[in-house]
Amino acid sequence: MTATPNPGRERGFALLIVLWTLVLLSLLVTHVAATGRREAEIAGNLRANAGREAAVDGAVFESAFRALGGGGAAWAADGVKREITVGGHRVIVAVSDPANLVNLNTATGPLLRALLVAVGANEAEAGTLAAAIIDWRERGRGPAATAAKRQRYLAAGLNYAPPEAPFRSVGELRLVVGVSPALLARLAPHVTVWSTFGPVVTTPDPLVRAALERLRDEGGDLPDQDNDEESRVLVISAGSADGTARQRLAALRFDLGDRNRPCAILAWQDEWLNPG
């Protein structure tokens, strides 16, 4: 016996297929639209972030221009935070002079010892640490002295020895035997690797000034106070006012007598422990 087709049932089944197809198409369109919106938002955020970072980098050179007296009265390189606008973005900048700080690569043992006492080390500890800092940057007097340095680091459980080369950054201090994280945090704001002279006796840094006064009272020689090389180093920190872009730290050297290369970039990096 042959079954009789039921037109109503076939039409209902076809309608059901159409409805499910419409539902699937609706879900697909919704997904595509949502994906498009997300990608547009991501692109917009990337574009905004790129604009803010470009403004931060531009603010570094704007600050240097103003600190050198461009466009009017020169900014003091005093580390004071200032707000400027670059490309429609508000940026907080600070310009400092590393000649106000103690240079890890040129400071004498007595000056380093005086600064270590100023940041809270006791006399014996300060003397030992000052010697360790100098050992890190300077060559030993012969193979025996270099071997003795290596042995001291091995005895402290460290698998490296002083490179007997200048410090490349203040952060490198953390590798010197005896320098604890707490001491580094206290010492770092008052030292630098970028100055070409100083620290000057007129430094606004109270602890560096105290170290210089102690050195003078002890009859020690003060560091050079004049920049004979006709060059100036500025350390500039810049970051967006809303905190949404990375902080930029730059150290720039300006050679006033060199027309071919008046500016050299000594450092260009994300901000770190010490802006000196």
The angle, 0 to 180 degrees and rounded to 10, between the axes of the packed helices 109-118 and 123-137 is: 130
Residue 10: pLDDT band with limits 50, 70, 90: low
Does 165 score more than 70 pLDDT? yes
Greatest mean pLDDT among 55-59, 114-118, 247-251: 114-118
pLDDT for the residue 261: 63
Long-range contacts of 221-225 (CB under 8 A, 24+ apart): 221/108, 223/106, 223/107, 223/108, 223/111, 223/197, 223/198, 223/199, 224/197, 224/198, 225/197, 225/198, 225/200, 225/201
pLDDT for the residue 116: 97
Select the more confidently predicted residue: 231 or 100.
Answer: 100
Task: Spell out the residues 6+ positions from residue 176 whose beta carbon is closer than 8 angstroms to its own.
Answer: 129, 132, 133, 136, 162
The model's pLDDT over 124-135, given as tens digits with 9 standing for 90+, comes to 999 999 999 999
Does 7 score more than 70 pLDDT? no
Tell me the fold of 107-190: Ribonucleotide Reductase Protein R1; domain 1 (1.10.40)
What is the pLDDT of the chain when averaged over all its residues?
A: 86
Task: Spell out the residues 6+ positions from residue 76 whose beta carbon is closer than 8 angstroms to its own.
Answer: 67, 95
State the average pLDDT over residues 33-51. Answer: 72
Task: Spell out the residues 6+ positions from residue 121 whose beta carbon is closer than 8 angstroms to its own.
Answer: 129, 183
Residue extents of the structural domains in the chain: 107-190
Does 275 score more than 50 pLDDT? no
pLDDT for the residue 5: 59
Does 40 score more than 80 pLDDT? no
